[in-house]
């Protein structure tokens, strides 16, 4: 734990290998587009992908990770339950922050931590999105304007089947009229989770300066803070406290 979080950028990394349209936008994969920026910001960054052994999330990798970012879409079902549990245990223990991106809303790890469907409505018609900052004093909104726009993004619309977020930082408005809780903070156990909606694989929004700033801010927010180890269970009491 330090002021400079150690980040692992996890990506499913299947679309980029099978869809030319996606490979054209992210020739080195979504993970490297994100990791490259975070490295420029001085963070210690490694990447991991689904098809690596243990999905790249070995005990050793996670022991050296303060914050994990998660992008997945077409292969949520291929993520092993044991690895999901390994990540979840660390989040609940307050040892690992989690930043879930875009279609990661349907990942096993996010659904498991939320305990709800995490379902939503969607369409993809190359529309504009305007992302409003609705909690201006929140650290994840630091350095952002009142709102910023993405030229094209996939529409994710309410209702979003999540528990009420502990803090709502961003509200997305789409050209087709839908709105979405686009930036949501959750506390689970001793850990922190942030969900951020932009990042459809055919649009270059992981190169967008404001999207990148949000991810960076979210990593700082989600990073484990110093916590005295919790004391659970029975222990002898004294009337002379």
Joined together, the tokens standing for residue 187 give 């506390």
Identity of the residue, 12 or 66, whose beta carbon is nearer to Zn ion in the bound complex: 12
> Is position 200 an interface residue for Zn ion (rule: CB under 5 A)?
yes
> Is position 105 an interface residue for Zn ion (rule: CB under 5 A)?
no
Q: How far is the CB of 135 from Zn ion (least distance, A)?
A: 25
Position with the least CB separation from Zn ion? 200
Q: How far is the CB of 73 from Zn ion (least distance, A)?
A: 6
Site size with Zn ion, rule: CB under 5 A: 3
Q: How far is the CB of 115 from Zn ion (least distance, A)?
A: 23
> Looking at 5-13, 64-72, 182-190, 196-204, which segment touches Zn ion (CB under 5 A)?
196-204
Q: How far is the CB of 200 from Zn ion (least distance, A)?
A: 4
Q: How far is the CB of 10 from Zn ion (least distance, A)?
A: 17
By CB under 5 A, name the one of 8, 11, 69, 103 that touches Zn ion.
103
> Is position 153 an interface residue for Zn ion (rule: CB under 5 A)?
no
Identity of the residue, 105 or 138, whose beta carbon is nearer to Zn ion in the bound complex: 105
By CB under 5 A, name the one of 65, 154, 162, 197 that touches Zn ion.
154
């Amino acid at each position: 734990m330090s002021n400079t979080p150690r980040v692992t950028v996890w990506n499913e990394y299947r679309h980029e290998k099978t869809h030319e349209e996606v490979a054209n936008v992210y020739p080195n994969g979504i993970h490297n587009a994100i990791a490259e920026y975070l490295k420029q910001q001085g963070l210690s960054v490694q990447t991991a992908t689904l098809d690596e052994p243990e999905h790249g999330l070995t005990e050793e990798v996670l022991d050296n990770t303060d914050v994990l970012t998660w992008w997945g879409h077409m292969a949520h079902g291929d993520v092993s339950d044991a690895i999901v549990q390994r990540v979840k245990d660390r989040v609940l223990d307050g040892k690992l922050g989690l930043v879930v991106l875009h279609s990661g809303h349907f990942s096993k790890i996010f659904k498991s931590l939320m305990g709800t469907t995490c379902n939503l409505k969607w369409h993809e018609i190359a529309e504009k999105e305007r992302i409003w900052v609705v909690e201006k004093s929140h650290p994840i909104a630091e350095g952002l304007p009142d709102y910023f726009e993405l030229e094209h993004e996939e529409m994710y619309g309410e209702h979003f089947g999540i528990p009420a977020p502990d803090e709502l930082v961003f509200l997305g408005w789409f050209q087709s009229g839908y709105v979405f809780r686009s930036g949501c903070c959750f506390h689970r156990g001793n850990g922190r989770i942030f969900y951020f909606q932009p990042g459809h694989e055919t649009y270059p929004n992981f190169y967008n300066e404001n999207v990148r700033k949000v991810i960076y801010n979210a990593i700082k927010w989600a990073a484990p803070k110093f916590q005295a180890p919790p004391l659970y269970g029975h222990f002898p009491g004294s009337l002379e406290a």
